[in-house]
Amino acid sequence: MNREDDFEMRLAEWLEDGPLGAPDRAVAAAIEHARTHPRRRFLRSVAWRSAMDSMHLAPVTPRHSNNAGRAFAVGLAAVVVVAVGVVSGAILLGSGGREPAPGGVVVPAATWTAAPTPVPTPSPVVVTGSNTVDVTEPGTDTTVGGVEQIRGMVLGGPTRNSDPRVSGPATVHVNIDIRPDQSADLWGTATIEGPDGTWTGPFAGFVEAGYTTHRMAAVMRGTGSYEGLQYRYTQTGTDGTNFTSTGVIEAAAASPAGEQPASIATVTGTETCDSGSLQPGGSETTVDGVTQTRLVESSCTEYVADPRLTGDSTRTVNGDTQPDGVGTWWGTSEMTNAGGSWTGVWSATSDATGRWTITWVNVGSGAYSGLQFRATVTGSGASNRVTGTVGPIS
């Protein structure tokens, strides 16, 4: 047996054992195509005769006579295979390489798109620290209506925090209105140059009468490696130079879509607060007749005509109450609603009858970014009247 005989025998055996027809869907599609696209009989017969005339199906006589029928089957099957292959190939090529569905409808090739990898939201990190600032540029100083107005003062110095991301040189641009009793309003912008990026944002606060305790709140947004984060903190100092701070680094709230209103709006409303509860590390002790309250958290609800300032808030409360019932109080606050959050500082006095007068300053984030809310709150402490302004920090 030579190579040609061996090949023919193997091919014949394969055709006997192998597939006897084209896939049902391909055949059905070919039949449907032929049914819906008729040709004139003359053209079909001519084409068929021409094809047959060009083929020479001479029977092959192998060395072993009992394979004669098989050899003829090989030749005929080869023609069938070629014909089926041409039909199937035409169908597949016509459908762009996609297999047609039953009924001849081409099913688009499925595409797979990898789901985006979710970006984890960083967990908030509590930060404590201190900073020292000195005047590097005095700015301007004028007096209008008995109020000393300082504009464009620049302060600078080191910031030392428990998280190194918000530690480094700080630059503060501050404006101050000092009233005759030496109480004052503060506002401006601050920048901290961290090791791998920068933090910049507005702050607002006040100075208690006698130009003593300074209280401020700030919201800074990160750049560089800190992109997508914000640092919210409150700060307290007694001499205008040395400050301590407590805050949190967290995912940045969404910024407002457009420009904030440039005008300052007057707002009024009411609030109700519970009596609060001691927090971990808190205490209430009496020293030399003075009751010292530390780290009480009170929950309040604000009802203000401006919806930006309406919502639930929490306040940390610290206070010293004298034997005659007169008290001095201070702390921080947080208020959140659908649009964003307000981070605030406050201080208060209470008289012997239990009437409170509170100075409250807040800095906004989220949709309220770049805004400050300043208010005077008066009442029993449990039920109070709120009067204030909301506007840009500039």
Rounded CA-CA distance 392/191 in Å is 18
Instruction: Using DSSP, state whether 382 is helix, strand or coil.
Output: coil
pLDDT of residue 113: 58
- Hey, where are the domains in the chain? 3-104, 125-251, 265-392
Distance of CA 164 to the CA centre of its chain: 23
Phi, psi dihedrals of residue 207, rounded to the nearest 5°: -120, 135
One-letter amino acid at 46 equals V
DSSP 8-state code for residue 106: B
Say which range, 262-271, 287-296, 338-347, has the weakest mean pLDDT: 262-271
Per-residue pLDDT band for 40 (boundaries 50, 70, 90) equals very low
- Is 70 exceeded by the pLDDT of residue 100? no
Encoding tokens for residue 195? 């090791």
- Is 70 exceeded by the pLDDT of residue 273? yes
Query: Are the beta carbons of 228 and 251 closer than 8 angstroms?
Result: yes
Q: Higher pLDDT residue, 362 or 108? A: 362
- Is 90 exceeded by the pLDDT of residue 63? no
Residue with tokens 């500039």: 394
User: If we measure between CA atoms, which residue out of 197, 370, 382 comes closest to residue 276?
Assistant: 382
Rounded CA-CA distance 206/345 in Å is 9
- Is 60 exceeded by the pLDDT of residue 45? no
Residue 383: count of CB within 10 angstroms of its CB? 10
> pLDDT by residue (tens digit) across 371-391?
999 999 999 999 999 999 999
Rounded CA-CA distance 351/294 in Å is 19
Per-residue pLDDT band for 49 (boundaries 50, 70, 90) equals very low
User: If we measure between CA atoms, which residue out of 394, 348, 324 comes closest to residue 213?
Assistant: 348
- Is 60 exceeded by the pLDDT of residue 27? no
pLDDT of residue 88: 43
Query: Are the beta carbons of 286 and 294 closer than 8 angstroms?
Result: no
pLDDT of residue 284: 95
- Burial group, residue 251, by CB count within 10 angstroms (0-12, 13-18, 19+): middle
- In our burial notation (b when 16+ CB lie closer than 10 A, e otherwise), range 65-81 reads eebeebbbebbebeeee
Angle among Cα 130, 134, 135 to the nearest 5 degrees reads 145
- Is 90 exceeded by the pLDDT of residue 352? yes
Per-residue pLDDT band for 202 (boundaries 50, 70, 90) equals very high
In the chain, at which residue ranges do the beta strands (DSSP E only) sit?
125-132, 134-137, 140-144, 147-161, 168-178, 184-194, 197-207, 214-222, 229-237, 242-251, 265-273, 277-287, 290-304, 311-321, 327-336, 340-350, 356-366, 371-379, 383-392
Rounded CA-CA distance 332/199 in Å is 22
> pLDDT by residue (tens digit) across 6-21?
666 776 665 566 555 5
Rounded CA-CA distance 266/359 in Å is 16
Work out the average pLDDT over 133-156: 96
Angle among Cα 177, 181, 184 to the nearest 5 degrees reads 25
Phi, psi dihedrals of residue 276, rounded to the nearest 5°: 85, 175
Per-residue pLDDT band for 324 (boundaries 50, 70, 90) equals very high
Question: Which pTM value belongs to this model?
Answer: 0.68
Identify the H or E element spanning 75. Answer: helix 68-94
Rounded CA-CA distance 167/171 in Å is 12
CATH code matching the domain that covers 265-392, chosen among 3.60.15.10, 1.10.10.10, 2.40.350.10, 3.30.499.10: 2.40.350.10
CATH code matching the domain that covers 125-251, chosen among 2.40.350.10, 3.40.50.720, 2.60.40.1930, 3.50.50.60: 2.40.350.10
One-letter amino acid at 6 equals D
Rounded CA-CA distance 319/356 in Å is 12
Distance of CA 187 to the CA centre of its chain: 28
DSSP 8-state code for residue 27: H
pLDDT of residue 97: 44
Fold agreement between 125-251 and 265-392: yes
| High-pLDDT (> 90) share of the chain, % | 65
